[in-house]
Structure 1
Amino acid sequence: MTAPIETTGSAATAQPEAVLEGAGSKQIEGRSLGRIAWTRFKRDKVAMAGGVVVVLLILVAALSKPIQAVFGLDPNAFNQDLVDPTLLAPKGSFGGMSWDHPLGVEPQTGRDILARIIEGSWVSLVVAAGSTLLSVVIGVIMGVVAGFYGGWVDSAISRMMDTFLAFPLLLFAISISASLQGNAFGLEGLPLRIAVLIFVIGFFNWPYMGRIVRAQTMSLREREFVEAARSLGARGPFILFRELLPNLIAPILVYSTLLIPTNILFEASLSFLGVGIAPPQASWGGMLSTAVDLYQVDPMFMIIPGMAIFVTVLAFNLLGDGLRDALDPRGK
């Protein structure tokens, strides 16, 4: 039965029952915080572009070996026939670019630059991801404990953070990487180099994550849901892992995304200085180091690995900025 309609003059006003009956024809669906954040993120076209580039870079790095096998690319194959023996420069224009070598070849050696860029991508991302994961794990644990318990625990961890932040990290990384040659800890060669870089970059960068998590924890520990958990008899570990950590996922995710490009630059810097990834293994920083003496012969040899680092760092930064705005719009 249809609800009655009151008519006053020429205007008709529906009763509340009629309004509710009409609204019932379309189901009202609530949205989770994740869906709301995803909707905000999709509106940011620049962040979406950065995310697409990041996904493509990860796919290229993960599938670098199959890609090289399918297209017949060998990052360490010498092609002396593509190099002018007099000038020691690639034959042709733009660094010897051709259908077989889309990004050209290296001066003197004739190695394919595209193959070495693809090979170096997985090295940079593995080191950056591993060191970021190590920093996040240590920083989150230390930051949550310091922010939640306070007192002498907070003072001790905060002074530890200050000590690590005062460390001359670049010099320390150079000395450790240079001293650990040959084999150590049951590793040798490339695995040893990667493990050392992950440890040095990750272990000494955790205070940056720790400070952010500590500040967020100090703010959250005074919130009503923490007091409610305490009133129900919950102890510290339960509150830390079941109440606080889920509310820290957003800042941890955002800062992790912004920490990865910093670690990529750090790895490239160490490889550029000759204490990171050792030749003949391809790395973007190592390619730039070699190009310093050869850029006058072939400028493209310096431009291409430099652009690879620039695009990767820019994409991660744009993705991190977009995630920050989507997860915390008030922080804009």
Structure 2
Amino acid sequence: MTAPIETTSGQAEAHPEAVLSGAGRGMIEGRSLGQIAWSRLRRDKVAMAGGVVVVLLVLLAILAKPIEMVFNLDPNAFHQNLVDPELLSPKGGWGGMSWSHPLGVDPKFGRDILARIIEGSWISMLVATGATVLSNVIGTVLGVIAGYYGGWVDSLISRLMDVFLAFPLLLFAISISASLQDGAFGLSGLPLRICVLIFVIGFFNWPYMGRIVRGQTLSLREREFVDAARGMGARGPFILFRELLPNLVAPILVYSTLLIPTNILFEAALSFLGVGIAPPQASWGGMLTSAVDVYQSDPQYMFVPGLAIFITVLAFNLFGDGLRDALDPRSK
């Protein structure tokens, strides 16, 4: 039964109860900023494709050891019977490709290239992610402090950024990595080299993040919500980490997706120069180093790790560009 309708001057009027009875039907729900960004990101097919590749690469790096155990892959197993020692090239098909070795074998020792690509994935991801986290933490903290307080604090931190940016980073990284190869801080071998790479790449790259965060903080500190927090008696640390920092998540996240591939290239360059990950541990940069001497007789050995680096860097860059557009409130 519906509520009766009264007529006044020939016009129908419904009782308030009749209006309220349908008030909860078809209500329009608001969307959060995260939902809006996700809807924008889903419309960008190129960014989504890059994101899928990034997820697959991360899963490959995390599951590298279990995959090697399940499929009985040994990245350091020698197969000298598959290599021609005089020509320094694999026997059989192109690059020694077969059902047992889908990507071929190492032209020097006959090691399986697929196994070494999988093994090198977690090295590259670990070094790049650790260096990115380190540089983001240092750059974010110093950048937000410099942008908020200004004055002599801003001048001091800004000049410190200029000093770090003036360092010849590659030469400095080579010298530090070469001097700490034997042992330091109670570490040796592969753990020491990974920690040194993370420290060198992350510690000297923080000014890039610091400049971005400082610039964003300079504009945010004049916003109304910061004035309201000051008016309520909030102190500096509370405003920094409870008001300003949550509004800096988007630029930090976007820049991180663009910084990870840069760090992957940096690690590959150091390994290529012989001061990064030492053999026989597999790494993409180290594989390129080994391929220099045999690229004429077996070009595939250089092509495969180079393609792995290319796909990884391209996927992160495409996903980072799409994420930047999705998180930008001024984009359509």
TM over 0.5: yes
Deviates more, 1:38-47 or 1:303-312: 38-47
- Is 1:258 the counterpart of 2:220? The answer is no
| CA positional deviation for 1:259 | 0.5
- Distance, in Å, in 1 between the alignment partners of 2:38 and 2:132 is 24
Match of 2:136 in 1: 136
C-alpha distance in 2 between matches for 1:2 and 1:28: 28
Cα distance between partner residues in 1 of 2:182 and 2:286:
19
Match of 2:151 in 1: 151
* Aligned match of 2:241: 241
State the 1:19 CA deviation. Answer: 8.6
Partner Cα distance (1:265, 1:67) in 2: 25
Structure 1 residues 310-321: aligned runs within 5 Å: 310-321=310-321
Change (3 A) 1:219 1:331: farther
- 2:89 is paired with a residue whose SS is coil
- Counterpart for residue 25 of structure 1: 25
AA partner of residue 35 (structure 2): R
CA distance in 1, matches of 2:299, 2:35: 47
Amino acid of the structure 2 residue aligned with 1:273: L
CA distance in 2, matches of 1:13, 1:48: 54
1:102 equivalent in alignment to 2:102: yes
Residue 184 of structure 2: aligned partner: 184
TM-score (norm 2): 0.94
**C-alpha distance in 1 between matches for 2:256 and 2:289:** 28
String of CA shifts for 1:193-235, please: whole Å, max 9, x gaps: 0000000000000000000000000100000000001011111
SS at match of 1:99: coil
CA gap 1:95/1:223 in 2 versus in 1, 3 angstroms: same
Whether the aligned pair in 1 keeps the contact of 2:97 and 2:103 (CA below 8 Å) is yes
Tell me the CA shift for residue 22 of structure 1: 6.0
| Corresponding position of 2:227 | 227
Give SS of 2:104's match: coil
TM-score (norm 1): 0.94
Amino acid at match of 1:271: S
Q: Deviations over 1:108-153 (max 9, x none)?
A: 2100000000000000000000000000000000000000000000
Unpaired stretches in structure 2, ≥5 consecutive residues: none
Q: Is the 8 A contact 2:132 2:263 kept in 1?
A: yes
Q: Is the 8 A contact 2:267 2:285 kept in 1?
A: yes
SS at match of 1:95: helix
Q: Could you tell which deviates more after superposition, 200-209 or 41-50?
A: 41-50
CA distance in 2, matches of 1:225, 1:13: 48
In the alignment, what sits opposite 1:56? 56
- The CA distance in 2 between the partners of 1:294 and 1:185, in whole Å, is 37
How far apart are 1:28 and its partner, in Å? 2.2
Pair 1:294-2:331 in alignment: no
Query: What SS is found at the alignment partner of 1:167?
Result: coil
Aligned partner of 2:281 in structure 1 is 281
Tell me how far 1:84 sits from its aligned partner.
2.2
Which range is displaced more, 113-122 or 37-46?
A: 37-46
Q: Mean alpha-carbon deviation: is it higher for 82-91 or for 237-246? A: 82-91
- The amino acid that maps onto 2:304 is I
What displacement does 1:3 show? Answer: 6.1
The residue aligned with 1:330 is 330
Conserved in 1, the CA contact under 8 Å of 2:82 and 2:110?
yes
For 1:289, give the aligned amino acid.
T
Partner in structure 1 of residue 269 of structure 2: 269
CA displacement at 1:255 relative to structure 2: 0.5
Count of aligned pairs between the two proteins? 329
Partners of 1:167 and 1:14 lie apart in 2 by: 79
Q: Deviations over 1:172-210 (max 9, x none)?
A: 000000111211001000000000000000000000000
Cα distance change on mapping 1:86 and 1:35 into 2, 3 Å:
same
> Residue deviations 1:222-250, cap 9 Å, x none?
00000001011111011011100010110
User: In structure 2, how many angstroms separate the alpha carbons of the residues matched to 1:312 and 1:14?
Assistant: 66
